[in-house]
A and B are shown apart, each in its own frame.
Chain A
Amino acid sequence: MAMPEAGLLTQPDDAAAEPEEVGPVLSTKPASRGRVIWRRLQHSPRFWIGGVVIVFFVLWAVFGQFLTQWSPTDQDVNNMNYPPTILHWFGTDILGHDLFAQIVSGLQKSLIIGFIAGPASTLIAGVLGATAGYLGGASEKVIAWVIDLLLVLPSFFILILLYPFTKGSWVVMMIFLAVTGWMIMAQVIRNQTRSLREREFVKAARYMGFGTWSVVRRHIIPNVASLLIIDATLGIAAMILAETSLSFFGFGVQPPAVSLGTLLANGQSAATTRPWLFLFPAGTLILLLLAISLVGDALRDAIDPTSGVNRA
């Protein structure tokens, strides 16, 4: 799952980071896991490329509205259906909406949905997966069964079925997105936890009389945290993707609110005649998702160097 970069091919991240790790011998404290991971990340071009692009999009979503004189709802009736000009940087749609202002507004919504729903679904996966794996027995069976049940229908179809319950509110849709996106990660966490449960330090904590919740919180979650961090990052991309798909087909964000999905839907009919209406939102979406998955994969390699690019 990793993209090899020319600079890293002959020299794995580990080796590159080693001199610095060996350096501070005088310090009595060993390098913490977090610092080791951070050092590996610093040497990963994918992390920097992806990170810079994400920061650019976030800044654009926050401050983009100050760069243009148009608001997303303004209708410039003198310049309807105009290709990109000095006046309208990204052109206008059939009603004279400024596409630049609309993309800024859509990007805000898509980013909010992704950055909340992605980590939220990871949280659900972590709690349910760890609980199921740690407790075993009946509760594990129930959770495993629910996971299997939710996997029978693709989440796109479940979300379409849930659409009437959102009553057009994108906040409710965001909750549904989180609730239908956690299953596969929960499976992974459950399997990890099952093997952790047999490890000595977990057994020791248990025999010392710590309750289930404390053991899960203090010993299980930190040990699967790396998986969760990767999942939360990639989950942001997955949720933005799900949101745009739903909105594109009319089951997500509803007008007058705009998201990248509704913009794509508006641009679809004109894709071959007025391509800017489709290409600008599509390009924004693809670049954003690409950047997030680059960072997610760089994280995966930094946390688990035996996977991906550095493997034998």
Chain B
Amino acid sequence: MTIYILRRVFNYLILTAVASSLAYVLASIGLNPVWELQNRHPKPPQSSIDQLLDAWGVNPSVPLIQRVWTWFTNIFHGDLGLTVGNQPVTQQLLVRAGVSLQLLLIGSILGAVLGVVLGVWGAVRQYKLSDQVVTIVSYIVFATPVFVMGILFMIVATDLNNLLGIQLITFSGQYSANAPDGFWPQLGDRISHALLPTLVLMIAGAASYSRYQRNAMLDVLGADYIRTARSKGRTRGSALVRHGVRIALIPMSTFFAYSFGTLVAGSAMLEIVFSWHGMGELAIQSIQQNDINSVAGSTLFVAILILCSSTLSEILYAALDPRVRR
């Protein structure tokens, strides 16, 4: 089993390396980091522009393949180059990674758990009222882009705050600068800020997971081994969990990996809508600022996230399906 997983992970590693290098190539061709300098009046001397280009390692007079290679090999020294503000990209990434991971991990884990529970529940109570309500809600969630859902929740939260007369839910930034000191007030402040974006990400994730889990569970429910488990004396609940849910989770583990990319993109959008200074904001700002190194850095971060999620789903798959373990 270990060799199987190692082989898969090695494959993912190569894909990640190639994809992030290609992203660097795309950014290098598409972006002109000195566009703003060249359009200044008066224009700065060409020599200073070249100096900046060299400092960022993006001088177009150096062959592209050589620039990519330098960027790629520097990753292993923990160096991702400088931003257009002449700060190390690595430092930017470290600051922002925490912000992004908080939203992404809490949101997607809660979403997966809720989705699996709702899916199993829907399958067991197929066609009952509760199943239909969950189905209709998940259809509406599917049809709502996450950023639209985020803003709709903001509108509702504003009305709620006005109705209560207090600022119960806050939705701008990750924390308030003027929150009172002390552990509990600070934590409360963070939760008040994190509530809406995390909720939106959770709902978006749960909607798609619950549909797939429901389908996978329905496939399993009619299977002979469930009947066997029941007839040998297991209770209904125990047979469903030990023999049903576990089997139904096997196809889900692959689906988690596929859908994780959508969640990463969704959480990047939510960061911007809720003005969190995370990785999504960095990716979008750096394109607008023609900042090649930051674009490449943030895409590398996303690619590594996907790498981790794919690896996790492989391990989950092997853990659930004994046929893979050899």
- A286 and B148 within 8 A (CB): yes
Contacts A160-B283, A293-B143; is A165 near B30 (CB within 8 Å)? yes
B19 touches A251 (CB 8 A): no
Evaluate contact between A153 and B303: CB separation under 8 angstroms: yes
B295 on the A face (CB < 8 A): yes
In contact, B284 and A1 (Cβ under 8 angstroms): no
Choose the segment among A87-95, A117-125, A195-203, A264-272 that binds chain B (4+ C-beta atoms closer than 8 Å): A264-272
Does residue A22 face the partner (Cβ distance < 8 Å to B)? no
Residues facing B in A137-195 (CB within 8 A) are 148-149, 151-157, 160-165, 184
User: Closest chain A residue to B295 by CB distance?
Assistant: A161
Stretch at the interface among B54-62, B90-98, B224-232, B262-270: B262-270
Give A275's nearest chain B residue, CB to CB: B155
Q: Tell whether A57 is near chain B: CB-to-CB under 8 Å.
A: no
B139 and A294 within 8 A (CB): yes
By beta carbon, the residue of chain B nearest A8 is B127
- Whether the pair A164, B261 counts as a contact (CB closer than 8 A) is no
Q: Is A282 an interface residue (CB 8 A)?
A: yes
Q: Is A208 an interface residue (CB 8 A)?
A: no
The answer to whether B144 and A286 touch across the interface, beta carbons within 8 angstroms, is yes
Beyond A161-B295, A241-B145, A279-B155, 18 additional pairs, beta carbon < 8 A: A149-B15, A152-B19, A152-B303, A152-B306, A154-B265, A154-B302, A160-B284, A161-B30, A162-B30, A164-B287, A165-B29, A237-B143, A251-B287, A282-B152, A289-B142, A290-B143, A307-B215, A308-B215
Binding site for A on B (CB under 8 A): 11-12, 15-16, 18-19, 22-23, 26-27, 29-31, 126-127, 131-132, 135-136, 139-140, 142-145, 147-148, 151-152, 154-155, 158, 211, 215, 218-219, 222, 258, 261-262, 264-265, 268-269, 272-273, 283-284, 287-288, 295, 299, 302-303, 306-307
- Contact between B264 and A154 (Cβ–Cβ < 8 Å)? yes
Please state if A271 and B151 are interface contacts (CB–CB under 8 Å): yes
28 contacts between A and B (CB under 8 A): A3-B135, A3-B139, A4-B126, A149-B15, A152-B16, A152-B303, A153-B302, A154-B302, A156-B265, A161-B26, A244-B145, A248-B269, A249-B269, A250-B288, A251-B284, A264-B148, A271-B155, A272-B155, A278-B155, A282-B148, A285-B145, A285-B148, A286-B144, A289-B143, A290-B139, A290-B142, A293-B142, A307-B215
Bound together, the chains give a CA A278 to CA B273 distance in angstroms of: 14
CA distance A184 to B65 in the complex (A): 30
Residues of B within 8 A of A156 (CB): 265, 268-269
A166 — nearest CB in chain B belongs to which residue?
Answer: B30
Interface centre among B26, B27, B126 (most CB of A within 10 A): B26
Nearest Cβ on chain A to B168's Cβ, whole angstroms:
15
The residue that B284 contacts in the complex, of A155, A165, A249, A264, with Cβ under 8 A, is A249
Q: How far is the CA of A249 from the CA of B147 in the complex (A)?
A: 10
CB pair A4–B287 under 8 Å, yes or no, is no
Q: Which of A160, A278, A285, A290 sits near B287, CB closer than 8 Å?
A: A160
**Which residues of the other chain, B, contact A151 by a CB distance below 8 angstroms?**
258, 261, 306
The answer to whether A268 and B145 touch across the interface, beta carbons within 8 angstroms, is no
CA A148 to CA B131, docked complex, whole Å = 35
* Contacting residues, chain A, for B261 (C-beta < 8 A): 151, 153-155
Please report the C-alpha to C-alpha distance between residue A59 and residue B12 in the assembled complex, in whole angstroms. Answer: 47
Q: Which residues of A contact B (CB under 8 A)?
A: 1, 3-4, 9, 148-149, 151-157, 160-165, 184, 237, 241, 244-245, 248-251, 264, 268, 271-272, 275, 278-279, 282, 285-290, 293-294, 307-308, 311-312
CA distance A277 to B269 in the complex (A): 20
- Shortest distance from the beta carbon of A276 to any chain B beta carbon, whole Å: 11
- Neighbouring A residues of B218 by C-beta, 8 Å: 311-312
Inter-chain contact A268/B302, CB cutoff 8 Å: no
User: Are B139 and A4 in contact, CB atoms less than 8 angstroms apart?
Assistant: no
Contact A290 B140 (CB under 8 A): yes
- Report yes or no: B19 in contact with A149, Cβ–Cβ below 8 A: yes
B148 engages A163 (CB within 8 Å): no
With A and B bound together, what is the CA distance between A164 and B158 in angstroms? 37
Q: Which residue of A lies closest to B11 (CB)?
A: A148
Q: Which residue from chain A places its CB closest to the CB of B146 in the assembled complex?
A: A245
B215 near A1 with CB under 8 A, answer: yes
Nearest chain A CB to B14 CB, angstrom units? 9
Chain A's nearest CB lies how many Å from the CB of B96? 15
Across-interface contacts of B211 in A (CB, < 8 A): 1
The 4 A-B pairs with the shortest beta carbon distances in the complex, nearest first, are: A164-B30, A154-B261, A156-B265, A289-B143
Chain B residue contacts of A161, Cβ below 8 A: 23, 26-27, 30, 287, 295, 299
Q: Once the chains are docked, how many angstroms separate the CA of A272 from the CA of B169?
A: 14
Select which of B15, B26, B29, B268 is within 8 A of A152 by beta carbon. Answer: B15
